[in-house]
Structure 1
Amino acid sequence: MRFFLHKAIRTAEFLEYGLKNRKTSIKDVIESIGIPHTEAGSIIHHGKQVGFGFYAQQGLHFRIEAIKPPLDVFSSSLLRPEPLTEIKFIVDLNAGRLAKLLRMAGMDTAYDPEFSDLDIAEKACNEKRILLTRDTNLLKRKHLEFAKYVKSIHPEDQLREVVEFFDLGRFLKPLTRCSMCNGLLEKTEKKDIVHRLQPKTILYYENFLICSSCDRIYWSGSHLEGIMGLLKKSGI
């Protein structure tokens, strides 16, 4: 959690926050010192857990604990009372290559470089998607519940980080989604698409998949081997 604190207070053992006789929610307090509410696993006051709406007043003491992975998004908690029924992601522009890898791994992942921060926050809330980003300000959007700050820089490391944090092993179905549009891939007969194939592809390959959304064609060529190599490199 100290990672998110402002540099001037990052090494302090205890932090004091002056309220000057005013009341404010503990959620607002922790975000004002740099910690997105989406990164908090529990808030402890006098040995008991409290919610984001608990009023902080001068003289009260709190302990903010980070989420302990793996995060079970299917179980309710005081800070996240409405669990998810399925795992779906949305990724913003600064982690765009992660979106492609998640799709390769078979995870439903919304991504569009044209999405604004407001678009992303609304889609995350309305479609019950988990937000993945490296933008701490985006994580502080009011109605977000499930989200994660992606610490890793390289896409393959980011994928491994997300898989481990949400314990995604049993949900991964590589090569079932289009890496470009997120649509589902379906088997297709070669004879039905032969007019769209290059001569060498017709000669050397027999098994094909087609995206149900954008109509992109996939086959077991060198590019598919490259995809599997990337997933294996990420520990999948």
Structure 2
Amino acid sequence: FLKLRSSVVEESPARYSLYLYGRNWPVYWGTATMIDAERRLLASALLDPSNQRFVLLSDSCIPLFNFTTIYDYLITSNLSFLSLYDDPRKVGRGRYNPQMSPMINITNWRKGSQWFEMHREMALHVVSDQTYYSVFKQYCQPPCYNDEHYIPTLVNMFYVELNSNRSITWVDWSRGGPHPRKHGPADINHELLNQMRYGSECIYNGKTTSMCFLFARKFSPSTLNPLLSLLHFHS
């Protein structure tokens, strides 16, 4: 979706900088290497003091609004947008390793999406942590997945007041199962776009709003042209 994302950001070149992270780090799904990669990305972006908001997106994510709308929504908020929750099931608390205690207790344990948005202060906390990162690296092994538990647990333990406790990436879990629905070309229409943009209710800067999501997933590569056509009328 590079073409789609490029069409969004090209309208405001003065508000962003482009970087190419040249080193290729081996990353393996479900392991601590995913957190290693996320922390390296954040650390690299933090080197530029003008970078204030940090969004991690998957290759199946799309923007729901134009750049100015997304930029203003994020830069005007004083909170980060990370979803974290206490899941009592096997896929939540069942992944906790008692060997993490006493550094991390099961009451601290949280789960959340690996696709996050955080402000600079939160990003600095995540990158600078060595103590709890080391505990996760040693004791969180599959079926414990670092990318779903490390940042949510760290934020829950120390930085709750910096977080909105909601995601800004829309996803459809209505079909159940371990993975969200993946949308194809036939799904792309005005109704879906409006549902993703304004079909929810949340709190933003202390007030209730229907504009809760700035991005959405999962979308197959074959949806690119329908999305380009549709988003052209919703910029």
Same fold (TM over 0.5): no
Q: Which has the higher strand share?
A: 1
**What TM-score does the superposition give when structure 2 sets the normalisation length?**
0.24
How high is the TM-score relative to the length of structure 1?
0.24
Which has the larger Rg?
A: 1
The structure whose RCO (Cα within 8 Å, separation 6+) is larger is: 2
